[in-house]
Structures are given as C-alpha cells and as structure tokens.
Amino acid sequence: MEIMNKASSAKRFPAEHFLNRELSLLAFNRRVLGQAADAGVPLLERLRFLCIVSSNLDEFFEIRVAGLKEQIKLGAVAPGPDGLTPHEAFRLVAAQAHNLVEEQYALLNDAMLPALDKQGIRFLKRSTWNEAQTAWIRDYFFREVMPVLTPIGLDPAHPFPRVLNKSLNFAIELEGKDAFGRSSGAAIVQAPRVLPRVIRLPAAVAGAPYGFVFLSSVLHANVGELFSGMNVLGCYQFRVTRNSDLWVDEEEIKNLRLALQGELPQRHFGDAVRLEVADSCSEVMTDFLLQQFALGYEDLYRVPGIVNLVRLMAVPDLVDRPDLKYPPFQPGLPKVLAKNYDVFASIRKQDVLLHHPYQSFSPVVEFLEQAVDDPSVVAIKMTVYRTGTDSILMELLMRAARQGKEVTVVVELMARFDEEANINWASRLEEVGAHVVYGVFGYKTHAKMLMVVRREDGEKGSALRRYVHLGTGNYHPRTARLYTDFGLLSCNEALCADVNEVFKQLTGLGKASKLHHLLLAPFTLHDAMLAAIRNEAANARAGKRVRIIAKMNALLEPEIIEALYEASQAGVTIDLIVRGACALRPGIEGLSDNIRVRSVIGRFLEHTRVFYFYADGEQKMYLSSADWMERNFFRRIELCFPVLEPKLKRRILKEGLMPCLADNTQAWEMDGDGAYRRKRSRKKRFSAQESLLAELPAAPAKD
C-alpha cells in the first residue's frame, strides 16, 4: 500500500510540461501508417503495416478509449498530468482517431489496392464480377458459408443479439412478410469466426495470379438466399469494439486463476466503445445500431471498405511473391557460441550478450534444453509473461518437471490478451508437478528472468552454481524474430544471487532484501533512475562531461520527465529514443533545449529498453524490462540490470543506441507540440535496422 500511495500522491507539475498519452499513441500509429505509405517499403509489407495500424487501434479503443469513457461515466473530472479532463481528452482523441482512419482508408483505396492490382494481386469488387466469377462465388456461398450462418430476424421473440467484440456482422433491412407473417423489417447476420474474411479464387476464374474476394462481398451478393420470399433493401457490415480490460477485486479473490477463468468470457461483451459501419449504411440503420450499443456519433466510424482491415494481414502469407516482401535473413550467433557449443561452458568463459532479432533466440532455447537434459542441473526457475499458445520453452519446463527436477514458474495471469494462454500453461505445468505461482497480486510480474541451478565440481569439491538469462523482451521465440531486444546470459555470482533473491520474493513471503546489482520495481528502480539523471545534472553543473541516452517504448512518468527537464537546464545532452507514447516536450526554450526525442519505425518493432549515463566516465549501462511509465515503476515487478563487462557496454552503445541516433531513413523527430517529422537527409542513406541486418547475422559478433 505504501508503494501505491507513492505513485498516486506524487506532486503535480505544470500541465504545460506534458503531452497527452492517448494523443501520443495516435501519433505513433500515424508513424506506422507512414511505413504503409512509404514506396521504399516492399508492397506486401506496406499492406502489413496498414493492418498493424488497425490492430493497434483495436487495442487502443479496447483499453485506452474504454478507460476514458469509464472515467466519464463515473463522473471523473480530475485532469491528467497534461491538464486535460477525461471529457476534453476524449473529444480530442475522437477527432484525431477519425482523421487517422480516414487517412488509412484513403491510402488503401487510392494507392495500395491499385498498386497491388498492377502486381497481379487483385481484390474483386462485386460491381466488376463477370459471369464465371459470380458463379464460382455463388457456389462457394452455398458450400462454405450458408451452412454455418444463423440469420436472426428482429422481433419481440428475437431481440437484438449479443454481438461479440470485434466480430463481423451484417445488418439487413427487409421488406415483406416471412412464413409466419412476421415483418419486422430488420435482421442481423453474424459471420462465424471460422469463416475466412478473405477468400482466394482460382487464378483462371480471377483473371489474375492472385485474386481475392472479401467474405462481406460474398454475403452481400447472396444475402437474399437467407430470407427467401422477402425483399432485401440493404445489407450493411458493421463491427463493434468493446471495453476489454479485465478487473478483479483483490479483497474478494481467493483463487486468481479461477477468477480470471470466470471473467475472460465477459471480455467479449464489455461496454461498447466504437461502432464501425460501411459508408453505405443507411441513416436509419446507423441510428438503430448506435442506439443498440448506447453509443454517440463521436463513436461512429464510417469506412469506405471492409470494416476490419486486420483481416488483410493474411494476404501476404497467401501470396508467393518474395520480391514484394522483406528479404529473409538468418539470425547470427555470438562468436563465443560456436557450433555444437556447451552453453554452460560458454557462459563460464564470459557473459554472453544476444541482440535479437539480428542474433538468434536459439541460445536461450538451448540454454533451457541443455539444462533439462543435464543430470547435473537440479533446479530451474522462470518468469512467464507472454510466451504464446505453442511454446517450446513451456514444453521444456514440463519435460524437466517430469524428469524430477525442481521447476518453479512464475506465471503472470494478468498479461493483457494472453490471459487464456497463460492459464492453460499454468494448468499443464501443475499437472506434471512444477511449482506454479502467480507472483504478487496487484503487481504484474513483467520481469524477464530464467535461472538454472547446477551441481558442479570445483577446487573445494562439489557445489551448486547458478546461471541466469535476463532480457528486455518476452520468452517468445516467434516475436524474438520481429522485436528488437537484448538478452544476457551470465553466471556472475552477485548477479545470480540477486536473481535468486527476486525469485524468493515472488514465491515466498518476507521483507525485500538489498540487492547487489539489480534494480527492482516497485522498490528501487524509480529512485535509482531519478538519482542517475540528477547525478548527470550535478556533474554538468560541476563542469564535467555528461550524457544521457535512453531507449524505451514509452516515456510518461511525470517525476522522471521533470528530472530530465532539470538535467537539460543544467546542460546535459539528452537523447531519447521512444518508439511509442512520449509525454515529454523536447526542444522547448528554457525547459528542454538539450533534449531530443526520436522514434524509429521499421521492419522490426523497437522493443529494447536501454538506459545509458556517462556517470563521470563510469558509463553506466542498464538493460530493463521496464519503460519509464508509472505502471512500470509502481504497479509492476520489473527488473533493470547493469551490463558489467566494458566490451558488452560498448556493443550495446554501438548496436543498440548509436545507430538509432544516426538513422536518417526510418527515424522520426518529435517537436515540442508532439508532432513528428520524418528524418530525411540528402546525405548518404542510413537505416539502423538495415545496417544491423547487414552486420550481425552475416558473421559472429565479437564478444
């Protein structure tokens, strides 16, 4: 409770010092849309970026907009750090979101679909179908679609159905009477999720190498078959987005896993926050739908196309055109990890730094796999935040438990949108005898750590030695090929002792002990970061050389931002590489003259958290699971670990920070009002990600 009070009672700073979080997130999605508009990006990858914007907006409405609407419903009037009340923030967010969606569909319809058509990738509109296409689609409807549809006529016996979150639905306007003499005038058809939203036609029928038709078009063309003898006046696709944040009462919960299992089904039916309809939808039907979902016109998004662009994400995988995609690459390995390496012997030689996705995630899998099969290993402990529904790491942990090793897994059940997968893994792990704990209720366990305890012979006889892996990203092999992250393999005794202490705190009870190297949220991380920033400011005032470089996903915590302002005013040069939301205003005269903020948006999702402080020549370098956000500092269990080896510090500076600062191709620079300008240079083109792809996978890194 003391920690929570610290977060909630932090003193207020001038509102003009801060940008709005939600507007900053929308600005991030506009940068992602910039990738979709970039002719230098392969065409099918541009389509992926367009879909990513839609996926991001879904979560934005499910969580961030839902939160604003919940505050408004509860009558909250207190302003945020930026001085905006929930009402004011919502109005601005709605306006910006509508503009962004308009830009997105304009890009799709006016640029991307014509460009795809020129490449033989065609999306067939109903108005253009020829006789053969119409016949094929009609046959497909009767074979694959109609048998699984359940049209629901709206009358007193059939009220408006419960509509699943983000599902595809059709509102039908009808004329006439049915077999029972009913004439309600309206019906709802819900498209089952088993049906593909994008259907590929045979090339001979499509008239193109890759011809696709949308499920919505298939249903529109044949909807009359569902209402025989009646006249269909209109068929309109719609989609509703709902509040998807889960909430459980700490005082009432006896078993968190059972409580979440009960709550998860309700996520699909939370309060509606957004209605998307086809732009052809009649005013009468639009008003009817808004009324059914208790939404206003500011929540309505009329779109000139399919209402769920996320479904287009399947298209690049259905098209065999390598020339329209990013070239494949093979992740490299550090030099110390030679072919057929003994992972424990390699770690004993030196700490091993892995830079994903340029370097392979396989050493982490190998670390665990060798631990499972090694008779000298007696115990394995691991945290799990996101790992996926099919995870080789979880399978290995289960195998270790079956073999009689002591396996302890801290599973975060409240990992948003991964709750169901994590509950399933927790159940399976328990079934094979692993010790499964859920961390500390009220604090998400977001730390990424894996520890192996091995019995080894030494000069003084047999003894236990600990090995650890610490990372900035999740234990998820698939995303390790898409996200940039650092991981460290080490057997440093003090570092391993710290990790062991953190596991003790997570699985048992007792006071927090002092750690040698690790910074741990919610206890020491916030104060340590403030101290490091203020130390640079003090050194600047003393005339010493100073520098701060910090890379993260989000920068929002007010006290940290104020400390950065003070350091800037003291003369500290501060470079911030913030992928997503940033509430700090850079480059404001007298406030943040020496602060530069940039965001790098490219092939990979920039996910690394790196904090560098010159520290009077000591050059402190930290890797972390935590962003500089209030939730990470005060409501999560996070690790921030120092990189102790000088050569590894240099590697992180060379690979993780300096390339992002030099990027003049995929970097965006932020101004004091929160607007971003894409960094373009007449000098030689330089992309951080492309440069690292050319260097790291090609040859072993020099550790």
Q: Which residues of 523-543 are buried (b: 16+ CB within 10 A; e: fewer)?
A: bbbbebbbebbebbbebbeee
Q: What is the pLDDT of residue 248?
A: 46
CATH class of 343-513: alpha beta
Q: What is the pLDDT of residue 701?
A: 44
Distances from the Cα of 554 to the Cαs of 9, 22, 476, in angstroms? 21, 12, 21
Whether pLDDT at 157 is above 70: no
Position with higher pLDDT, 575 vs 432: 575
Which residues, at least 6 apart from 74, have a Cβ–Cβ distance to it below 8 Å?
A: none
Catalytic residue numbers, as ranges: 446
Whether pLDDT at 550 is above 60: yes
| Each residue's pLDDT tens digit, 562-615 | 999 999 999 999 999 999 999 999 999 999 999 999 999 999 999 999 999 999
Q: What is the pLDDT of residue 537?
A: 98
Same CATH topology for 2-6+19-324 and 520-695: the answer is no
| Tokens found for residue 189 | 């058809």
Q: Which CATH number fits domain 520-695: 3.30.70.2740, 3.90.1580.10, 3.30.870.10, 3.20.20.80?
A: 3.30.870.10
Tell me which architecture the domain covering 2-6+19-324 has in CATH: 2-Layer Sandwich (3.30)
Q: What is the pLDDT of residue 61?
A: 96
Asked if residues 188 and 171 have their Cβ atoms less than 8 Å apart, the reply is: yes
Which residues, at least 6 apart from 332, have a Cβ–Cβ distance to it below 8 Å?
A: 358, 359, 360, 696, 697, 698, 699, 700, 701
| Of 57-61, 84-88, 343-347, 435-439, the least confident | 435-439
Q: What is the pLDDT of residue 251?
A: 43
Claim: this prediction has a pTM higher than 0.75: yes
**For the chain, the helix, strand and coil percentages under 3-state DSSP, each to the nearest 5:** 40, 25, 35
- The identity of residue 170, as a single letter, is F
Where along the chain do its domains lie? Answer: 2-6+19-324, 343-513, 520-695
Q: What is the pLDDT of residue 385?
A: 84
Compute the distance between CA of residue 235 and CA of residue 232 in angstroms, rounded to an integer. 7
Confidence bin at 158 (pLDDT 50/70/90): low
